[in-house]
Structure formats: C-alpha cells, structure tokens
Amino acid sequence: MSDPNDQLHPMPDDWQRALAVVAHPDDLEYGCAAAVAGWTDAGREVVYTLVTRGEAGIDTLPPAECAPLREAEQRASAAVVGVSTVEFLDHQDGTIEYGTALRRDIAAAIRRHRPELVITLNHRDTWGPAVGGHWNTPDHVAVGRATLDAAGDAGNRWIFPDLVEQGLDPWDGVRWVAVAGSTFPTHAVDATPGLERSVLSLLEHRAYIEALTDQNPEEYCRTFLTGNAEAASARFGGRPAVTFELFSR
C-alpha cells in the first residue's frame, strides 16, 4: 500500500480501449469523469457498463419509474465526456451480490469490449482514510472486487465455458485495473482539461442530485469535484488530479 505522502505516478497512456464497470448511474461521474474526458479527447475509446440502473437511488420515486429516468441521465452524462456506448447488466440496486453470477456478467462485458484498461470504483471498505473514513456501500465493494476478479476470468476459457459457447472468446488483454476513489491511490490523471466537462457530466444526474441536496445543483457538482481534484494535487506536483489505485496484470 502506498505511503499517503508519496507522489502519485501518472496513469499509463499507451492503450486504446477502456471499459469502466460500476454499480450505479453517477458512480463514474462522482469518481473519474474528468479523466475520461481527457482520454476520449486523445482519441481513446471508453465504454461504460453499469451493473444496475440505480433504481433504488431516489426515495420519492418507485424503482419502476426511477430506472428509466436514471438510465437516461446516465446516457446523457456519458455523452458529455465522449462516451457513446453505455450498457446495463440489470442486477438489483442495493442488493448486488458478490459471486460467480456477477463475475460472469462482468467477464462477458470484458470479452465483448476487449479493453486494455478496466476501470472500476472503490472496492475498499471505506471512503477516505482507512481509519476514520466513511463506510462504503456493499454494492461498490461487490462490483469493485468482482471487476478485479473478472479481469482474470475473462482470459481463461475454462472459467465460465458457457460464455465461449455464446461466442465470447477469452480476452487476456487487460493490462491494468484502475480503481477510482480508492483509499490507497497510487496513480493519477491531470484533471484540468476535463474538469469543467466532469461538472456538466455529474450535473446530468439532475433528478438524483435534486433529491439528494437543497444546494444549487451546479454549485454542488462543482464544489464536490473541484474539491476532490484540488485535495489530490498535493500528491501530483500541485496539479488538480483524479486518482486511481492501479493493479497491473
């Protein structure tokens, strides 16, 4: 684990295709959309896979009404940072189970899209410091862990042989899994070029944010994302940053 005072390394940039796998609409927008904007600017392809439609995310909206609304917000927020492919695995929001069914669905997504870089969200127990931080949600922990595991599953033809029968050949080309929002970041991307678009991308989750806070939505998004990027700058040569815990394969 990294020393909290160490400088973060620049994220690798010798890749062409990334797949981001997260539990809920808004996870990537809170986590790393500024980095995604920079990557798509550079001509790289990024695909989003959402394990749920976030249908349990708004107290005042029953899931059947919430799911299509949040799906539409997610597609709009992806488009702001240059992502046009957004898919949903339709596990149940709030009660995602870590296990082979989840690993299989994520491995299938990895085989479909054949990424070199896989991105997910904090699989650690807490947000912020390991001691005294905020407890993470079970959905994030399950999806983060299953994504780290599925990067290996995707490359082995004898794990989930039914996927091969469906025409999804093994893909052993994942070189890294990058965990956004981790308690133990090791790498970072300069947030500056994508920061404004990351604010607009998060702001596309307007129904969710309006239900969450009385604050002006744009002010809320800007304060959150700018604050995070600036907090990380001390470990990245003074540049506002999006941080990742990078696992090489």
Q: Which is nearer to Zn ion, 27 or 116 (CB)?
A: 27
Closest to Zn ion by CB, 50 vs 188, is: 50
> 71 exposed, middle or buried (CB, 10 Å; 0-12, 13-18, 19+)?
middle
Q: Residue 25 CB, nearest distance to Zn ion (Å)?
A: 8
Give the shortest CB-27-to-Zn ion separation in angstroms.
Answer: 4
Shortest CB 24 distance to Zn ion, Å:
4
Sheet containing strand 86-88, strands side by side? 9-10, 187-190, 241-248, 176-180, 117-121, 17-22, 45-50, 86-88
User: 91: closest CA among 136, 143, 135, 47?
Assistant: 143
Report in angstroms how near the CB of residue 7 gets to Zn ion at its nearest: 29
Complex with Zn ion: residue 50 or 117, whichever CB lies closer: 50
Nearer CB in complex with Zn ion: 27/190: 27
Q: In whole angstroms, what separates CA 126 from the centre of its chain? A: 16
Number of residues binding to Zn ion, judged by CB under 5 A: 2
Q: Is 235 in the site for Zn ion (CB under 5 A)?
A: no
22 vs 150, beta carbon nearer Zn ion: 22
SS3 call for 139: helix
Ramachandran category for residue 133: left, alpha or beta (phi over 0 → left; psi -120 to 50 → alpha):
beta
Residues 1-60 that bind Zn ion (CB under 5 A): 24, 27
Residues 64-93 within binding reach of Zn ion (CB under 5 A): none
The secondary structure element, H or E, covering residue 140 is helix 138-153
Q: How far is the CB of 212 from Zn ion (least distance, A)?
A: 12
**What does the alpha-carbon distance between residue 170 and residue 30 come to, in Å, rounded to a whole number?**
31
Residue number with CB closer to Zn ion (50 or 83): 50
- Stated as kind and residue range, the H or E segment containing 102 is helix 100-113
Closest residue to Zn ion: CB criterion: 24
In b/e form, how buried is each residue of 167-186, taking b as 16+ CB within 10 angstroms? ebebbeebebbbbbbbbebb
> Shortest approach of Zn ion to residue 30 CB, angstroms?
7
- Binding site residues, Zn ion, CB under 5 A: 24, 27
